[in-house]
Amino acid sequence: MLQQMQNKVAAEGKTGQELFDKFMCYCSNGAGDLADSINSADTKIPQVEAALKEAAAQKVQFEADVKKHQSDRADAKAAIVTATSLREKQAAEYAKTAADLNENIAAMTKAITSMGGAAAGAFLQTTSATAVRRLAIDMDISPADRDQVMSFLAQGQSSTDTSKNGQIIGILQQMKETMEADLADATAAEQKGIGIFDALVAAKEKQINADSAAIESKIERVGNLGVEIETMKGDLSDTAQSMIEDKKFLADLDKTCKTKQAEWDEICKIRNEEMLALADTIKMLNGDDALEMFKKTLPGAGAVLLQTQVTSDEVRKEALQALDGQHSVKLDLISLAIRGKKVNFDKVIKMVDDMVALLKKEQQDDDDKKEMCEMQLDKAEDDLKILETTVADLEKSIADGKEEIVTLTDEIAALTKGLEELDKQVEEAMVNRKEENEDYQSLMANNGAALEIIGMAKNRMNKFYNPAMYKEPAAFIQVHSHKQAEVDAPPPPPAGPAAFAKKSEESNGVIAMMDSLIADLEKEMQEAELEEKDSQGDYEQFTGDAAEKRVMDSKSITEKDGAKADAEVNLVKETKERQTKMKEALATVNYIGSIHKDCDWLLQNYDVRKQARTGEGDALTKCKAVLSGADFSLVQTSSKFLRVRK
């Protein structure tokens, strides 16, 4: 009990913490959220109440249907038992009748065969002759016919009067035919009774199967409705409580928030002190010394359910002895009636019959309720296991979902960072390529200009030193040169010295040097062109690969964003589903608790109650037998006499 108090205090603390957290959330969100919550609760509460009322009515109806089916099934079983008992009785009667008739027919056949023969005297000494004699006395025949038969049986030999013998044979033949007709009628009646019995049993068994199926189906529906009702009750209670609190919060939000914080601190302090007190008390009571003391001072007590009775005269004494050892209010009433000198035994027998019927009904009620309780408990416990498994699976799935979201977030961040770095590399490569190309263009331009200048210089020297190798320059060069000459021409020179001699050998060295420079410049330009081509190819390959990688990474980011969004949606869905399943599990636990509250006492005491009821029933049966004059030490027999049908 103390542990239950602990659990209750802890549960109240958890509930209070949830309410306090909700309260503080309201304090933060303000009056707008409170008003929306109140309006939502106003709409929801009537809907839940209507659904709860409908579910409760359905549950009551299904429970009534179950009781009706159980009652109908019990009646069908009782009808089979009654029909079986009657059928056995009829079969026994038929067997006795058929045996007697077959024996009498055989005796009559033997008598007819022996009429007029030498064996007549021997026949009259047999048991068959005795049977014929008895039949002649008992059967409904005319006195004259009876006298003739008895005369024949008394003579000991056949008569010499042929007509008289024929008349006796005719009488015996008529008696035989009557018995054969009776046997045929009895056989036909027996076959008809068997057919009726088989049809009745088949119909009742069909009804029993149908009732059993209906009981199982409707008990399952009762269990489902019970869980739904508990769920709706919890939902209704939570909604109503929330609405009350919301209205209260809205009325005086600021003041209430401050007051509530102080109150909650005080409640937590008191609850902690209470939990400490309970823990200390449990520790004290669970000590070895305390337990040993309890064993000495609080012994267990047994329950005595039976008591004996005493009687007076012979029949009352035997009847009361039959009831000896049984105890109940109605049995005490019957015992009191038996002791009374003025009470008629027929009235007591009726009381016994009523008591037996009541015991059967009580036992049937216990059987029906036990069946319903066991089926409801089995189903509710199976449902609870399924819910617990589902909650565990959802919790694992939620954990996996959270881990997946974290992984996807990291992967998306890494891919995004990679794209940024890739864009930066592409930009750097483009800048480098531009600079390299500018250098290449500058080199080619400069080298081209140098080649042109050196070529012009070489050509000019060849014009003087090697006229055969001179090449006429292009027109624009000539014009340009002419203009230059016109512009830059010096004034006429004064008289010069003597004639000049060409320095051909020295010019050859200069021209050779120019050829070497031209070769170096052309080689450098070829190498630069190859390098430019390779660099441009590498740049194009890099940018192509980068573009392809960017497309792939962007697609991967999009896919992972979608997967992350799906995972987040699924996480929200599974979280809500887990909350719903946990509420269903809690409702199922409450429903199982209500079943235990209603059924545990019966389930625990079912065997004892049934045994006690059986003992009372046996005692009442013996009591009725005594009051009715039965003697269990003797076995009574009965005989049936046959009459010849006219």
Question: Which amino acid type is present at position 29?
Answer: N
CA distances from 239 to 61, 236, 249, 376 (A): 28, 5, 15, 28
| Range with the poorest average pLDDT among 128-132, 568-572, 574-578 | 128-132
Of 437-451, 461-475, 476-490, which one has max mean pLDDT? Answer: 437-451
pLDDT, tens only, 59-99: 899 889 989 998 999 999 999 999 999 999 999 999 999 99
Longest Cα pair distance anywhere in the chain, in angstroms?
218
pLDDT, tens only, 340-389: 555 566 777 777 888 888 888 888 888 888 888 888 889 888 998 999 99
Six token digits for residue 310 = 């005493």
CA distance linking residue 337 with residue 333, whole number of Å: 6
348 and 365 in contact (C-beta within 8 Å)?
A: no
Six token digits for residue 509 = 């060295």
Model pLDDT, residue 403: 93
Mean pLDDT for the stretch of residues 42-58: 90
The residue that leads in pLDDT, 453 or 348, is 453
Q: Reply yes or no on whether the pLDDT at 53 is more than 80.
A: yes
Model pLDDT, residue 442: 92
**Rounded percentage of the chain residues whose pLDDT exceeds 70:** 76
The alpha carbon of residue 167 and the mean position of all alpha carbons in its chain are separated, in whole angstroms, by: 87
The residue that leads in pLDDT, 6 or 379, is 379
CA distance linking residue 325 with residue 311, whole number of Å: 13
Mean pLDDT for the stretch of residues 270-287: 74
CA distance linking residue 309 with residue 317, whole number of Å: 10
Domain residue spans in the chain? 2-285
Mean pLDDT for the stretch of residues 29-42: 79
Six token digits for residue 212 = 């059993």
pLDDT, tens only, 134-173: 777 777 677 777 776 777 666 654 444 555 667 777 888 8
Residues contacting 610, CB < 8 A, separation 6+: 363, 366
Residues contacting 27, CB < 8 A, separation 6+: 249, 253, 257
pTM above 0.75, yes or no: no
Q: Reply yes or no on whether the pLDDT at 217 is more than 70.
A: yes
pLDDT, tens only, 230-265: 888 888 888 888 888 878 777 777 677 778 788 888
pLDDT confidence tier of residue 414, bands split at 50, 70 and 90: very high
CA distance linking residue 542 with residue 550, whole number of Å: 12
CA distances from 467 to 457, 470, 474, 515 (A): 14, 5, 17, 17
Q: Reply yes or no on whether the pLDDT at 274 is more than 80.
A: no
Model pLDDT, residue 88: 93
